[in-house]
Structure 1
Amino acid sequence: MTRHLAIAAFALLLCQSAQAQQNKPATGQPVSASADPVAGTFKAWDRNGDGQLSLVEFRAGWQRAQALAKTQAALAQQFAAIDVNHDRGIDAEEYRNLVLVKNAGKDAPPLARFDADASGKLGFAEYVRLVEALAPKPAGRDAGK
């Protein structure tokens, strides 16, 4: 299972890299680190900023990538379970039944807040943004970030 998660994380990075290459400016100028996920990932993993990845830095980055892939897989499973009519989207009725929405009660934001493409339902990426916005934040070292 761990190998599959690592492959999924690597595939995600490759897809993001390919997408960044497609969005490369016509001027031939290099894409900024924020627009180039590979450069951004390298910079994030290079904790001491020396332009090189030590084994310790690579291992820590790899572990974070695996955790991200595991989270993405869990969210994909949740999304599929919530999408009871299997139309690859969370419609208004399915949205009302989300635990996060129910827990928010009358303070729950409307589906339209997360429906970036105004389709009337949430695709997977929109669902992930909803979870990021409504899920309880973990206490501890990373709280408040």
Structure 2
Amino acid sequence: MLVYIIDGFNLVHKISGLGNSASPHACLIQYIKKNKLTGSRRNRVVIVFDGGINEEAVGEREYEVIFSQDRSADDLIKERVKKAKNKSQILVVSDDREIRDAIKSEGACSLRTADFLKTKKKNNQEKEKEISYTLQREITEDMRKVWLGE
């Protein structure tokens, strides 16, 4: 089981349209779920946001959502990794070099946001490959009948 610790606003600003949303916290959570960016449901997901509590994200049940309040999200992420027992199972998603360097020295792994978001493209490509040749032929034949009125 992996534990994803995600620098919330760092990722929000890398996804087109989320930064301008009325509730970027909730939108990010839905985006991650919809695109299955964290793989197996057995993996734990912790999303850390700077600032005060957002009511829409507080009710999240699958992921742990943390608001830094009067501290920085960066400090909370580093502290969380430092206190963890199985650091080799932690994957921190952030473009912040200071975070990546700090958690690496603790024995955890990091992933840049662009690489994390590539998971979406990979998942979508795999879905496209799932259609068998037989099914493709059936669909083509059905569409031919519809378009040609046969």
* TM surpasses 0.5: no
Greater strand fraction, Structure 1 or Structure 2: 2
Greater helix fraction, Structure 1 or Structure 2: 1
Normalising by structure 1, we get a TM-score of: 0.28
Normalising by structure 2, we get a TM-score of: 0.27
**Which one scores higher on RCO, CA 8 angstroms, separation ≥ 6?**
2
